[in-house]
Structure 1
């Protein structure tokens, strides 16, 4: 056993000795011509990685690092600087030609950053056709363009296996006007990759490394690729050893001065095979946030840690809703209600007070809940017998800690009960589809919904309400995440 250990050590040393190196410098590109000019500042203590190891630049701004076949060599964005951008995508990596030549100088541009900022979080865009890119432009780019955002994070499944759409979608999201940090999803992987490190080849050819890190203001962001490929189109949620080494090295070398460490990845933490090992990476880090997509549902979840604050996770739904399915509106955008009853949309993170706000696409900012009341119709009687005894409220950003109350008279408030079940609106839309209501339209059909909503409340209609028409009001509050929402609906009894 001892001899084997010695042999492995010798082989490792031999491999390192034979490794190809890449070297260069990091400089402030004051005239933004993408080359170092005499007089431009060279930056010490800037971190460079090969996807596993991390080295700082010396006092002359110089670095030297081993190149690992199949990995990218990239800069870890320092606070108050950013790499030159294309379509607002930071070009934080050495191109293939530079890797071959063994030399690359990383340019940085001054980029003033406030510690208090707003970040846009985009769950799965998952565009399959150019039509879907148009829908993203209408429902996300149009709404976010010009807003004061620090940066934007699309949380994986950038496409639905249609990698030729990377470019048009990135061009659209680039128009938002803020830096965009892309996450890789399972539908962004190369299913036919012959080697493990080629699983992200198409993604990396366009976006750069599929995992990396950046400082922004007083925070550290870590983009993770937790798609571990299996045979064919299969995958599981898990990190490879290079990423573990990279994150360990990153957290060791950067110290503990960050206000928050934020990890962005595609598959939720609770669905990862190595969940505990991932959580253990952050021992000693007080404030840790995880943001994911993948499920086409949205919810909050906390992970307990002994002697340390919980790690909070936001599963951020999907900008495509239920895969751009269902009937289209007058703009040609599919309704695509998510399986948990949330309308398609996106999230804002406010780092000043660590609060979250959901924004339903094509809806006013204060549209934070759907209210479903029973009604009796004469023309279309399809849902006349659908649960006439209850009112349902879906609070899109709600969680276990959300308090939801309702009033029928504007004065007396009654607490609603959290309901463990499927959102009735989702069942209704799917029923209409199965009855052929949308057959005359060229649409993507909704998959059969099978999940319960994590943010659904209901209440029985009071038996003492007299026949008439009532304006009901609902309020939802959750102080920790900044939820304070009010909704209204009409309840008709006796007509």
Structure 2
């Protein structure tokens, strides 16, 4: 065994030295694609020091851009795109930083899985030099577009993507899973919509992106990988390093049929790659399932979360991005969830593109309202990465109502229209601050008076409760699917409305101090009227 291992090592060294394609040492070349044709032409030099992986092992290219890497049927081979370079777009518009090895035999999965064929021992990758400007990195963050039909793809296109076309500042885009809602045949059409933004786009898989007929977790993302590449990989920019992780464990025959967690090969990849990651920039970890437990249920394997936290502990600048819940909140991990870093670990659980699954009453353009169960409007997020590990986040509602000062990009207000003058002040204005955190300062004032603090209250948003009642009382369906049942919101504030300030109309102003966007305002009105017993 020892002599055999030594022979393999010597063979690999000879291959690196002479560039010979030995059967014992599959690999390839990472090269600078000067003319952008995706092929290595005469004079196009190899690129040294680029990480290449099969999803478990990580190797680096030599001075000539060559690498040796174990390859097996069904593996996805990829480069970790280095800062200062870009991966050219493939025919599907996505960055061509990966190649899929075929299976030895067809999987028989409903949506096709990975096709069968001969193992390709030589896998080359083209990279092109990118603009080296030392500027902040703008990133679009999508989550759960989750169309179940071509009608829903139309909503995604018109509601989320088309308003951004021609106005995109972002240099990178991320999708945090549930690219579709179980119908994996929709992948090409969804991808065509997303890539119309002409932004390099990275994906992770969600629980609705699985081959549900797969017999085990190892085969559950075959169709996903055929369309989007590796389910776990890394990507480097000058301002940030990104690692995208499949964190959905497929459990056929069990209830629930999935749970949050990671595989051993994913940890092997992280253990091999993370030691090379600079600690002076932001490390962004993207996934679908939140790391925190949801609704008092065991939704993530504790041992996997703690093992990941152990690998991230020494990094001073980490941001976790997750999705899945179709609500929005900020979570700060500490020892209670197994995090033992110097500072709490910030996880931003991003709201959904589809909001509440493209539900609710349609507007004049025929697009469903789709407000999420916590009162957050559907939309998308942005991440701006700054020097030294700093960052700023923002949520962007898909649609705003012109002239509606109570519903802005930052918050939505709800208050009664009329109260009795002199009544006990039991009624309130509510502010749903979409990016609100527990430490967010939210204040209100009446008629330009003194600013007073509002109280954070974990209860359902009254705005959505009104829709629930309207659905209940309607004699006919108001939409294809009704709005979701309102549930307690993590970012709702309450301020009691005074009733002793005179008959007539009164202006209510609310201001919230966003951690990244600064002061945000909204306003509404209510009237006080005289009444007799």
Asked if residue 283 in structure 1 is aligned to residue 313 in structure 2, the reply is: yes
SS at match of 1:94: strand
**Residue matched to 2:34:** 30
* Equivalent position of 2:433 in the other structure: 395
Q: Give 1:250's aligned residue.
A: 273
Corresponding residue number in structure 1 for 2:193: 172
SS at match of 1:488: strand
The CA distance in 2 between the partners of 1:395 and 1:437, in whole Å, is 33
Q: Say which SS state the counterpart of residue 208 (structure 2) adopts.
A: helix
Show the counterpart of 2:152: 132
Q: State the alpha-carbon separation in 2 of the partners of residues 96 and 213 from structure 1.
A: 19
> Which whole-Å CA distance do the structure 2 matches of 1:494 and 1:70 have between them?
72
Deviations 1:233-288 (A, max 9, x none): 71000001110111111102x14344111100001111321322221111211101
Distance change in 2, residues 1:443/1:255 (3 Å): closer
Asked if the contact 2:50–2:61 (Cα under 8 Å) also holds between the matched residues in 1, the reply is yes
Q: CA deviation at 1:157?
A: 0.5
SS of 2:76's partner is coil
What stretches of structure 2 of length at least 5 have no aligned partner? 10-22, 103-116, 294-299, 402-406, 420-424
Equivalent residue, structure 2, for 1:382? none
Quick check: 1:265 aligned with 2:287?
yes
> Secondary structure at the residue paired with 2:234?
strand
Distance (whole Å) between structure 2 residues aligned to residue 452 and residue 193 of structure 1 = 36
**Which of residues 356, 379, 389 in structure 1 aligns to 2:393?**
356
1:239 matches 2:262: yes
Displacement after TM superposition at 1:438 (Å) = 5.2
Structure 1's 69 and 197: CA in aligned 2 closer, same or farther, altered over 3 A?
farther
Aligned to 1:225: 246
Structure-1 residue corresponding to 2:519: 484
Write the deviation string for residues 54-73 of structure 1: whole angstroms up to 9, x where unpaired. 00011111011111444311
**Separation in 1, partners of 2:244, 2:366:** 33
Q: Does 109-118 or 139-148 show the bigger shift? A: 109-118
Q: Please say if 1:475 is aligned against 2:511.
A: yes
Structure 1 segment 50-61 matched on structure 2, within 5 A = 50-61=54-65
Q: Following TM superposition, where does structure 1 have runs of at least 4 consecutive aligned residues deviating by more than 6 angstroms?
A: none
CA distance in 1 between partners of 2:467 and 2:528 (Å): 24
Instruction: Say if 1:95 and 1:306 are closer, same or farther in 2 by CA, change over 3 A.
Output: closer
Q: Is residue 2:154 matched to residue 1:149?
A: no
Aligned partner of 2:490 in structure 1 is 454
Question: Are residues 346 and 437 of structure 1, via their aligned partners in 2, closer, same or farther at CA, if it must alter by over 3 Å?
Answer: farther
Matches within 5 A, 1:95-114: 95-96=100-101, 100-112=119-131, 114=134
Q: Check if 1:49 corresponds to 2:53.
A: yes
Change in Cα spacing, 1:443 to 1:219, as seen in structure 2 (3 Å) is same
Cα displacement string for residues 287-324 of structure 1 (whole angstroms, at most 9, x for unaligned residues): 01000110011111112354522221111110101010
Q: What TM-score does the superposition give when structure 1 sets the normalisation length?
A: 0.90
CA 1:163 to 1:255, structure 2 compared with 1: closer, same or farther past 3 Å?
closer
Structure 1: stretches of 5+ with no match in the other structure? 1-8, 378-386
- Equivalent residue, structure 2, for 1:411: 449
Equivalence for 1:341: 375
Q: Label 1:290 to 1:39 Cα distance change in 2 as closer, same or farther (>3 A).
A: same
Secondary structure, in 3 states, of the residue corresponding to 1:469? strand
Residue 365 of structure 2 aligns to a residue in which SS?
A: coil
Are the equivalent residues in 1 in contact too, given 2:313–2:340 (CA < 8 A)?
no
Q: In the alignment, is the contact (CA less than 8 A) between 2:34 and 2:128 conserved in 1?
A: yes
Distance 1:476 1:20, change over 3 A: farther
